[in-house]
Amino acid sequence: MGRGRLVATGLVAAFLLAAAPFIPAEEGAVTGAVLCGFALGWAMLAVLSVRFTDQPQRWTAAPALSMGLGGLLLVGFGSPVHQVLDWVWPPAMPALAVWMLVRAHRQLPSPSRRWLLYPVIVLLALASLGGGYQTLGAAADAKAYPMPGQLIDVGGHRLHLNCTGSGTPTVVLEPAAGGMSSNLGWIAPAVARATRVCVYDRAGRGWSEPADTPQDGTQIATDLHTLLQRGHLPGPMWWPAIPSAASRCSPSPLATPTRSPAWCWWTPPHRRRRRTRGHHRLATGAPTTT
């Protein structure tokens, strides 16, 4: 098998592993699967070149080991390892790429064979530099725009909750279309003039930490229930729901023996023209029903 085919095998394996049903649909796990695929390609190049050719490429075991180890840690442990590798990988991968380019130049006598590997190595280095730029940008944004509110542990991860205003009922706002709590920066202050209002970020959104469990409707409702309990929010509560949150509008997940059940309502698509009036009435504290 030619070296070009071995490199192509690694690329194909990266895509197939990322789409495999046993890989969780999370950023850390998908990234880990891609790294494992690349590691497989480099490992095959090391093993098969030693076994079947007179030009063994043992140096390819180094990228196979580093990428395979990083990929397995990401798949196995998820977001905690991802946060560490965000800082470790950007400086380490370019250094490894330079070393790989030197070794490929020395041990691959054919220029055509070297040029099969050069684009892959350069692509890996550029990807790591892009990740480093994103990590530095996120750190700078976190320093320039500090998080309002608090992070509350809901079991394995922490969710962001920010409450302002005073009075009853407590209005809990959830951003539409999986957005961030900062998207409600104009609505929440208006509601806070009349009563207490709380905004939160789902797992992996905004200032909330990512979760290692699938975020389906049941898990999102459970996280919200735990967040409201551990945030010690007074009842009764109103939760203006959006169409994508209609499945979580049932009062039962939010009701406890010591807490008044939450009220939530939803403006159907065919009545969107009344939203402006409904939002005005909510901001003034008047009950809104649709």
What's the first-to-final CA gap in the chain, in angstroms? 67
pLDDT attached to residue 112 = 64
How many H-runs (helices) and E-runs (strands) does the chain carry?
8, 6
Instruction: Report the pLDDT averaged over residues 162-188.
Output: 86
pLDDT attached to residue 3 = 54
pLDDT attached to residue 285 = 40
pLDDT attached to residue 44 = 86
Half-sphere exposure of 149 (CA within 13 A, CB side): 22
Nearest 5°: the CA angle 28, 199, 157 is 30
Q: Which two tokens stand for residue 86?
A: 């965000």
pLDDT attached to residue 7 = 59
Report the b/e string of 158-169 with b at 16+ CB within 10 A. Answer: bbbbbbebeeeb
Question: For strand 262-266 and strand 150-153, is the pairing parallel, antiparallel, or unpaired?
Answer: unpaired
pLDDT attached to residue 279 = 42
The 10s digit of each residue's pLDDT in 80-94 is 888 899 999 899 999
Kindly tell me if the per-residue pLDDT of 252 is higher than 80: no
pLDDT attached to residue 241 = 56
Give the type of residue at 211: A
Q: 1 versus 94: which is more confidently predicted?
A: 94
Q: Which long-range contacts does 60-67 make (Cβ < 8 Å, 24+ apart)?
A: 62/96, 62/99, 62/100, 63/38, 63/39, 63/96, 63/100, 64/39, 64/40, 65/39, 66/39, 66/92, 66/96, 67/35, 67/36, 67/38, 67/39, 67/42
With a pLDDT cut of 70, the percent of the chain lying above it is: 77
pLDDT attached to residue 63 = 93
The 10s digit of each residue's pLDDT in 94-151 is 999 999 999 988 887 777 666 778 888 898 899 899 989 999 998 898 788 888 889 9
Length of the chain: 290
pLDDT attached to residue 129 = 92
Q: What is the mean pLDDT of the chain?
A: 78
Domains of the chain: 3-144 (no CATH), 150-283 (3.40.50.1820)
With a pLDDT cut of 90, the percent of the chain lying above it is: 22
pTM of the full predicted structure? 0.61
Q: 278 versus 233: which is more confidently predicted?
A: 233
Q: What is the rounded CA–CA span in Å between residue 36 and residue 33?
A: 5
Q: Which two tokens stand for residue 117?
A: 């590997």
Question: For strand 197-200 and strand 170-173, is the pairing parallel, antiparallel, or unpaired?
Answer: parallel
Q: What is the rounded CA–CA span in Å between residue 249 and residue 269?
A: 16
Q: 77 Cβ partners below 8 Å, 6+ apart?
A: none
